[in-house]
Amino acid sequence: MNRTRPIIVIAIAAAAVVIAGSIAIGVTTMSRSDATTPLPTNAVKMTLPGLAAASGAPELTSIRLLHPRPGEVRQAAGPFDDRLALDGLAFDGTTVRGSLRVTSDVSAVLDLEVIAGFYDAGGAFLGIERFVYHAVHDGPTDPVTGTPVESIPFQATVPAEFAGRTASASVGVPVLVNE
């Protein structure tokens, strides 16, 4: 029985050394800062042959192809025409107004850009102005149903350099981001 006592003492001492070593390694590892770990210097870069990166504000080439009659407001073809309706389009000679209504779903509009084209009395293109909308929060909701209100009023004023020469307008939507 006397022989078992030293074996138990040795086993307990060995276990204590292993536990103390594990704690020391854990404390050392936890106290290291990630700031000392170097960050990777190479980011993943991807190229798609034949696809050029955007180099400016979005455009609608269809705006330059229209020739509206004096007093007329026309919708220029855009990439989101199947997802929206432009309602109440009007032009008073200085400002084009209307509202955009999303027809594809009931999610909130996060970003929107409307381009207004302006034309002289002969229907010749003069230039553009932009209306940009960025949602600050989830957007307005219907007080009864709680669904997002998807009608966003917009307006664009004739640029000063075309004042007095503008007879008609067009509008189109190159940017529409919704949930």
d(CA 103, CA 98): 16
Centre a 10 Å sphere on the Cβ of residue 124 and count the other Cβ atoms it contains.
10
Closest CA to 84 of 106, 62, 101, 60: 101
| Residue 91 contacts residue 71 (beta carbons within 8 Å) | yes
Q: What is the pLDDT along the chain (179 residues), one digit of tens a residue?
A: 566 777 787 778 777 777 877 777 766 665 655 556 666 667 777 777 887 777 788 889 999 999 999 999 999 999 999 999 999 999 999 999 999 988 887 677 889 999 999 999 999 999 999 999 988 765 566 666 666 666 889 999 999 999 999 999 999 999 998 87
Q: Which pTM was predicted?
A: 0.66
Centre a 10 Å sphere on the Cβ of residue 126 and count the other Cβ atoms it contains.
17
Domain regions of the chain by residue span: 4-32, 62-178
Closest CA to 113 of 175, 158, 69, 61: 175
**Residue 25, Cα to own-chain centre: how many angstroms?**
47
Give the pairing type, strands 84-91 and 125-134: unpaired
Question: Which CATH architecture best describes the domain 62-178?
Answer: Sandwich (2.60)
d(CA 171, CA 75): 5
| Residue 128 contacts residue 119 (beta carbons within 8 Å) | no
